[in-house]
Structure 1
């Protein structure tokens, strides 16, 4: 088994089938899908089990005893994963059929790279409305501005994940488990790249996005502080530690306007888009 695609699933009955189908339609064949249900209250678990029954060689399903969050769910998937590589996917996104093939080809041709992500189209119920791009070769200093990889697009060597302790399960990482992981990988001396191909449709509202609960912004500030310290980006990093707290005070309409201006002006270049 070459790849294990891990997904934490929770109350996603409306989108789960389309996401799983996009994986089952991959041109790359040596992979499995490991789903961890985080105590859903809708029909999510039923749908997941139906796929496991229909595709027993491809789909496996486990369930948490209580709701524990994404990081915990992903760690459970990784623990039982059979693949040499771990690929991420969210239950409301769509992978292009050649995603896994292109990313595996890239990793095999770039042995210095243990982690590879891609670009992604932004879409909602009305279709594609934008694009999210990431820097081709992120450096440590780039993490001052935000996470440098689109989480559901990544593939990473399982042994490397294990080496850094997989995902951190804590209150601080409830909405920043990926940011925390990527900074710990870079602090440990590993390198990641972002392919410039668009290989995933990332579900996101085009007109507005929920204002993040302020406690999660405190959590991100903690993640930033610890990550910057491990990557030796202090004391300069202190300025950027407080970014999520400041952004949390900006009116939502202003954030939405800034977000669209950023997409309109940068969607075709090769620079990082700091997200708010």
Structure 2
């Protein structure tokens, strides 16, 4: 790799991102990082609003911002794979356009990765926020093991930095239909087969908890998650004891929304109490 190439490539997919209430703050949280040796690749996934125009204005002001454009809406996995193909960094970081990163996020993650060469995936803990501000902190497992995939994804997708070589070895994001809305979960389980994954305990990422997201989650995506879990758990040697966790998404999808919201509120309260 040439010495003039950035150490880090940040990749983001954007579709009608101007509808996201924190779109501009999200972009600026990356451009204002204390670690500056990066390129920021954003692929507009066929937006029908003025997302592309906004991105071009930012790119005119900061040469680190590279804009790609899909002719039509392709979805997250193909969009991120296109970003990966364009990326030149030794490390590849994710970031979502409705969230924002702490100003020292990259500095702390890159420092850790440099001193832990066996680590191929590094995420962080997060703050959950909504339109009323920060509501809770979620601490992710520090050293990820196969069993950490049982209940939930042990990484928050937007927080992770990959070692480029490991991400390419995994083949990037799957574009199979059964992986839609679960592309990250599938990728992380495939990478678990041959690499070390960790999370920093410090929350360095602010995750927007969209109250409408639960209503938008269609049952077919829960079926997709079940298929991803079954295949991933089988490859990780966790079956058959992991079967109850395979069907978890199907069961959760049958719980009335008001009750699920109550369960999540109680879980959040426990997290807040634990993290005091």
Report the TM range for the smaller structure's normalisation. Answer: over 0.9
Asked if 1:44 corresponds to 2:51, the answer is yes
Q: Quick one: distance in 2 between partners of 1:260 and 1:139?
A: 27
**Is structure 2 residue 181 aligned with structure 1 residue 175?**
yes
Q: Separation in 1 of the partners of 2:22 and 2:129? A: 13
Partners of 2:157 and 2:274 in 1: CA distance: 20
Once the two structures are superposed, the pairs formed by residues 149-188 of structure 1 within 5 Å of their partners are 149-187=155-193
Task: After superposition, give the CA deviation of every residue in 1:99-147 in whole Å (9 maximum; x if it has no partner).
Answer: 0000011111222211110011111222111222211112101212121
Distance 2:138 2:112 in 1: 20
* TM-superposition CA deviations, 1:12-37 (whole Å, max 9, x none): 11432111100111000100100011
Matching residue within 60, 63, 85 for 2:66:
60
TM-score, scaled to structure 2: 0.93
**8 Å CA contact 2:138, 2:271 repeated in 1:** no
Does the aligned pair in 2 maintain the 1:39–1:66 contact within 8 Å? yes
Q: CA RMSD, aligned part only? A: 1.5
SS in 1 for 2:13: strand
Which stretch has the larger CA shift, 259-268 or 231-240?
Answer: 259-268
1:242 maps onto 2:247 in alignment:
yes
Partner of residue 227, structure 1: 232
Match of 2:150 among 144, 148, 154: 144
Alignment correspondent of 2:262: 257
Tell me the equivalent position of 1:90.
96
Q: Is the 8 A contact 1:140 1:231 kept in 2?
A: yes
Offset of residue 269 of structure 1: 4.5
Q: Distance in 2 between matches of 1:211 and 1:10?
A: 16
Distance in 2 separating the partners of 1:34 and 1:207: 28
Contact 2:23 2:98 (C-alpha < 8 Å) held by counterparts:
yes
CA distance in 1, matches of 2:49, 2:207: 22
Q: Distance in 1 between matches of 2:36 and 2:247?
A: 44
Tell me the matched-pair count: 268
Gaps of 5+ in 1: 271-276
Within the alignment, does 1:193 sit opposite 2:198 as a pair? yes
Gaps of 5+ in 2: 1-5
Aligned match of 1:10:
15
Q: Distance in 2 between matches of 1:113 and 1:146?
A: 21
C-alpha contact (below 8 Å) 2:137/2:271 kept by paired residues: no
Distance 2:8 2:256 in 1: 42
Deviations along 1:53-103, whole A, 9 cap, x unmatched? 2212x0001111211111111000000001110000000111110000000
**More helix by percentage:** 2
SS of alignment partner, residue 140 of structure 2: coil
Alignment-derived partner of residue 27 in structure 1: 34
TM-score by length of 1: 0.93
Tell me: CA distance 1:233–1:38, structure 2 relative to 1, closer, same or farther (3 Å).
Answer: same
